[in-house]
Amino acid sequence: MSIQLRSEYGILKKVLMHRPGKEIDRLTPYNKEELLFDDVPYLEVMQKEHDVFTQMIQHASGAQVIRLREVLLDILRDEKLRYSMLSGALSERGFDFLIEDLFPRLSNAEVVSILVAGARVWELQQKLGKHFKTDLGQSAFAVVPCPNLYFMRDPAAVTQAGVIYSQMKKPGRRREANLLRQVYENHPYFAGQHDIIYRGDLETEGAVEGGDVIVLSERSLAIGNSERTDHSAIAAIAEKMLQSGAIDRLYEVHLPEKRNFMHLDTVFTIIDQNLVLTYPDAVSAVVKTTIYERSGKQIDGKDEVVARDVQKGFLDVLKDEIEHLELIHTADGNPDYSSKEQWFDGANVFAIGPRRVISYNRNKHTNRALKDAGVEVLEIPSSELSRGLGGPRCMTMPIERKSMH
């Protein structure tokens, strides 16, 4: 199997997901902003909602759900990798000096727990006793948790040519990208099965997050230039993708830097070959798009890639790319509900097949508009999942879809 995606709506075959766990319980009213949350979810209900989501994907599409914790347990049976990843997590706050004493005391599962849910000072002191002294308070984090990890879309992106490893903009999310990188490079499901488009593992590289990457068609890709993804990363990805021959065009979509359009996939989702769900206020605010294409010339044996800016709305660009484009607006464009449902990611549905989507049940006006357009809408409970400000698409990383051509 070669890991590539040629559409956003082909029948789902395999998807990587992460069930929220102890890392969510680490959130408090006092640390939530530091950990990039606006609210404090109720974990037990959140897990039940996520379980409904996972089961719906399996039953409605027959897709295989690969669970992140299980593949982490698999790869960390390698003692050298387990040591390296634990040492890296401890070093983030200067605690890597503990590695020699701590490592032999931890099981594989405990290391996975620390990598995902972090560790407080008192938890490490329980393991190390007199071996560990610090001026930090006992409740301080020696390893910071990753509560955003259930948004599996962000740490990497699968494209027509292979995988983009994310370079997360916020330092607090960079371990998430490293976990995914290690899974893709070391687990037999993934290792040797994909080309790497962008490594995203150097401080000097521009930031890119998977939520900004959308497969527009078999031959085109869109990446949002957002508060989380930089122009320099997009330009580097465009060059690699176009030189691979996998696509003919890459669109850099210049999004306004606002919290409720954090990533490109929060403002529009492709749910069929010619059908797009969009938040019109955001898409109409895009006044510039950069188009990357091959020039037809070669430099040092490689295709030259050129960029040009077009001063027109992204919807006009989409109409040029997608024939007979049809649009559905969040809350059917009703201003009383559109911004409210967009806050809870009304435009961020997850397609499990052409015109078959999973959506939050709270976005009832958007869901009704989808149904009126002939889309099958499967609704999931969302009182707690939505508190992280990400939708069903955000919570999934598709690895394989059935080709529609």
User: E strand or H helix at 380, and its extent?
Assistant: strand 376-380
Three-state DSSP class for residue 182: helix
CB atoms within 10 A of CB 98: 19
**Cα gap 65→57, rounded to integer Å:** 8
**Tokens of residue 229, six digits:** 């993804």
Contact predicate 161/197, CB 8 Å: yes
User: Of 365, 355, 358, whose CA–CA distance to 395 is shortest?
Assistant: 358
Q: Which of 215, 375, 394, 397 is catalytic?
A: 394
Distance CA 362, CA 387 (A): 12
Q: How far apart are the C-alpha atoms of 208 and 194, rounded to whole Å?
A: 19
Q: Rounded to an integer, what distance in angstroms lies between the CA atom of residue 377 and that of residue 359?
A: 7
* Cα→Cα distances 31→117, 134, 147, 313, Å: 14, 21, 11, 39
d(CA 11, CA 8): 9
Give every strand in the sheet of 376-380, ordered side by side. 350-353, 356-360, 376-380
Question: What's the CA gap between 184 and 68, in Å, rounded?
Answer: 11
Q: Which residues of 163-191 are buried (b: 16+ CB within 10 A; e: fewer)?
A: bbbbbbbeebbbbbbbbbbbbbbbbebbe
Give helix 79-91 / helix 174-186 axis angle, nearest 10°.
170
* 146 assigned to active site: no
Point out the residues that are catalytic.
Answer: 394
